[in-house]
């Protein structure tokens, strides 16, 4: 279930900032003055950069071999790169060369020719299904999708596959298509490529509506010039400090040699922002969304499914049907148990209050049974017993946690047959 962002205290500076940005769809005089007074960053040394928009397609593989491409990324001081390619071979080659650096996403393009026609090419679906069976990805994209195209069968199946695998949607889209993606999957995590090439005021409005939307700044220069941040963009960055990230967009092989200069230029304008905000945009937001710490990734690694919460990418619940293989397909018309792992595990191994339920949003009803949950020996590990899904269709697993900071609901939708 998509949740509205939690209400914040009226004195919260971030909330106040958002209201200022949205009130007049632009900067107020106060925002301009605040931007001018902001102190420069004091980040020591060369700031790490996470590039959240890199392509390594077949022509780049030929002209910039994997070892050379990896060296360009390292020379630029990158700590991570979200990589896709047309076809997927380039991504897999680069991942094999630098698994510590590359974060793979699956592009629904078998070649560059699919860029414009993929939305009406059924073979794209079988291609994606085959790749998803063979490899693991963090996201789907970058894909080009506009307006009513989001309602076509191929894009809808792509969204369904992303939902089944818990993947980020990396959308090169207009606002209309972004809205349609969220209507199809309210709990989606969407990375909006190029921030939609929209004005910062329009971007701010869409961010306000969707707490699970992030924006990359790839292939645009209006946010900063000559090492200085545009005041309107600065207002948006300050209002949503955890929602923007960098990207170079290597859509041609030649642009691979732009990765280093792009990172250098980004460091110049990021240095004019407060240190925390600079780190957020420079690398931390991408790291949080796309590549959690190794300890978090390993958490619940034996469990195949993940439940997530709106606006909380730093916590999830891994789960699977209890048994030797922890199956990911939920059974129908028989009682079963789930094994669950809260990630990251609670500090000190303290048990949390947990409830596990399931419902069918389209039918507006849930299970006829109530599960019981008990903690296991491993910190953050639980077993929920007594679940029974009595009919086929799309079910939503609901995990309610009582955390020290307040309740949190995590969900995952799955097809049951």
Question: How many Å apart are CA 24 and CA 300, to the nearest integer?
Answer: 46
Q: DSSP characters for 189-237?
A: -EEEGGGGG--HHHHHHHHHH-TTEEEE-TT--TTEETTEE-HHHHHHH
Question: How many Å apart are CA 226 and CA 205, to the nearest integer?
Answer: 27
* 145 assigned to some structural domain: yes
CB 235, CB 19: distance < 8 Å:
no
* 34 assigned to some structural domain: yes
* 8 assigned to some structural domain: no
* 3 assigned to some structural domain: no
| Residue owning tokens 């034996």 | 302
Question: How many Å apart are CA 346 and CA 403, to the nearest integer?
Answer: 9
Q: What is the mean pLDDT of the chain?
A: 86
Q: Does the pLDDT value for residue 164 go beyond 90?
A: no
The encoded tokens of residue 257 equal 């040699």
Q: Does the pLDDT value for residue 15 go beyond 60?
A: no
Predicted confidence band of residue 35 (pLDDT cuts 50, 70, 90): very low
Question: How many Å apart are CA 315 and CA 388, to the nearest integer?
Answer: 26
Same domain, 307 and 283: no
The encoded tokens of residue 28 equal 């107020």
| Residue owning tokens 């669950």 | 340
Q: Are strands 102-106 and 139-145 parallel, antiparallel or unpaired?
A: parallel
Average pLDDT in the 30-42 region?
34
82-138: pLDDT as tens digits: 999 999 999 999 999 998 899 999 999 999 899 989 999 999 999 999 998 888 899
165-178: pLDDT as tens digits: 889 999 999 999 99
Predicted confidence band of residue 18 (pLDDT cuts 50, 70, 90): low
* 9 assigned to some structural domain: no
CA dist 311 → 103, 157, 217, 273 (Å):
21, 24, 20, 24
At 236, give phi and psi (nearest 5°).
-65, -45
Q: Which residue has the higher pLDDT, 31 or 111?
A: 111
Classify residue 75 as exposed, middle or buried by CB count within 10 Å of its CB (0-12, 13-18, 19+).
Answer: exposed
Same domain, 370 and 264: no
At 122, give phi and psi (nearest 5°).
-60, -30
Beta-carbon-side half-sphere exposure of residue 26 (alpha carbons within 13 Å): 3
Angle at 241 between CA 313 and CA 255, to 5 degrees: 85
Classify residue 81 as exposed, middle or buried by CB count within 10 Å of its CB (0-12, 13-18, 19+).
Answer: buried
At 309, give phi and psi (nearest 5°).
-120, 145
Q: Does the pLDDT value for residue 5 go beyond 90?
A: no
- For 99, the 3-state DSSP assignment is coil
Same domain, 232 and 315: no
Would you state the pLDDT for residue 310? Answer: 72
Q: How many domains does the chain have?
A: 2
In 3D space, the residue among 262, 268, 288 whose CA is nearest the CA of residue 47 turns out to be 268
Same domain, 310 and 345: yes
Beta-carbon-side half-sphere exposure of residue 190 (alpha carbons within 13 Å): 32
Same domain, 234 and 345: no
Question: How many Å apart are CA 385 and CA 371, to the nearest integer?
Answer: 5
Same domain, 220 and 326: no
Least confident of 31-40, 54-63, 110-119: 31-40
Domain boundary among 264, 290, 316: 290
Same domain, 232 and 306: no
Q: Does the pLDDT value for residue 36 go beyond 90?
A: no
Q: Are strands 190-192 and 365-366 parallel, antiparallel or unpaired?
A: unpaired
Residue 253's CB: how many other CB atoms inside 10 A? Answer: 18
CATH number at residue 202: 3.20.20.140
CB 178, CB 213: distance < 8 Å:
yes
pTM here? 0.67
Same domain, 230 and 281: yes
Adjacent-strand bridge partners of 357: 398
* 212 assigned to some structural domain: yes
Predicted confidence band of residue 24 (pLDDT cuts 50, 70, 90): very low
Would you state the pLDDT for residue 8? Answer: 38
Same domain, 136 and 219: yes
Domain boundary among 290, 322, 341: 290
CATH number at residue 305: 2.60.40
Least confident of 4-13, 83-92, 347-356, 370-379: 4-13
Rg (CA), the chain: 22
In 3D space, the residue among 130, 128, 131, 132 whose CA is nearest the CA of residue 143 turns out to be 128
* 159 assigned to some structural domain: yes
Beta strands in 344-404 (DSSP E): 353-360, 365-366, 372-375, 381-387, 393-403
C-alpha distance across the termini of the chain, in Å: 21
Same domain, 18 and 57: yes
* 7 assigned to some structural domain: no
Predicted confidence band of residue 349 (pLDDT cuts 50, 70, 90): low
Same domain, 29 and 150: yes
CA dist 223 → 87, 156, 264, 265 (Å):
31, 32, 15, 12
Domain boundary among 260, 290, 320: 290
The residue range of the domain holding 347 is 295-416
Same domain, 176 and 77: yes
């Amino acid at each position: 279930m998509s949740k509205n962002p939690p209400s914040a205290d009226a004195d919260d500076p971030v909330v106040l900032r958002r209201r200022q940005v949205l009130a007049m769809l632009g900067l107020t005089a106060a925002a301009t003055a605040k931007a001018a007074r902001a102190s420069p960053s004091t980040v020591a040394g060369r700031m790490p950069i996470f590039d959240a928009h890199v392509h390594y397609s077949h022509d780049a593989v030929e002209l910039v071999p994997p070892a050379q491409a990896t060296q360009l990324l390292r020379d630029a001081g990158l700590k991570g790169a979200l990589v896709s390619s047309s076809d997927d071979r380039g991504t897999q080659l680069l991942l094999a060369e630098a698994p510590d650096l590359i974060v793979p996403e699956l592009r629904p393009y078998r070649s560059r020719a699919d860029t414009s026609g993929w939305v009406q090419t059924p073979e794209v679906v079988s291609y994606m299904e085959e790749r998803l069976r063979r490899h693991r990805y963090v996201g789907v994209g970058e894909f080009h999708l506009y307006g009513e195209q989001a309602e076509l069968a191929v894009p809808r199946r792509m969204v369904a596959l992303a939902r089944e695998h818990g993947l980020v949607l990396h959308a090169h889209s207009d606002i209309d298509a972004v809205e349609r993606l969220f209507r199809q999957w309210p709990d989606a995590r969407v990375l909006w490529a190029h921030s939609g090439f929209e004005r910062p005021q329009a971007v701010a409005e869409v961010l306000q509506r969707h707490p699970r939307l992030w924006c990359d700044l790839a292939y645009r220069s209006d946010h900063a010039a000559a090492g200085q941040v545009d005041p309107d963009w600065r207002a948006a960055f300050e209002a949503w400090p955890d929602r923007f990230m960098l990207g170079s967009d290597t859509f041609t092989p030649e642009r691979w040699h732009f990765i280093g200069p792009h990172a250098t230029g980004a460091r110049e304008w990021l240095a004019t922002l407060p240190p925390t905000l600079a780190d957020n945009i420079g690398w931390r937001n991408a790291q949080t969304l796309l590549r959690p710490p190794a300890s978090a990734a390993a958490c619940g690694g034996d469990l195949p499914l993940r439940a997530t919460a709106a606006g909380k990418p730093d916590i999830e619940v891994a789960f699977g049907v209890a048994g030797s293989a922890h199956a990911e397909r939920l059974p129908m018309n028989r009682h079963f148990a789930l094994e669950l792992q809260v990630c990251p595990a609670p500090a000190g191994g303290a048990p949390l209050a947990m409830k596990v339920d399931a419902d069918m949003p389209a039918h507006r009803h849930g299970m006829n049974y109530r599960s019981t949950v008990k903690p296991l020996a491993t910190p953050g590990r639980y077993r929920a017993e007594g679940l029974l899904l009595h009919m086929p269709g799309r079910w939503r697993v609901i995990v309610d946690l009582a955390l020290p900071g307040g309740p949190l609901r995590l969900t995952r939708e799955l097809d049951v047959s």
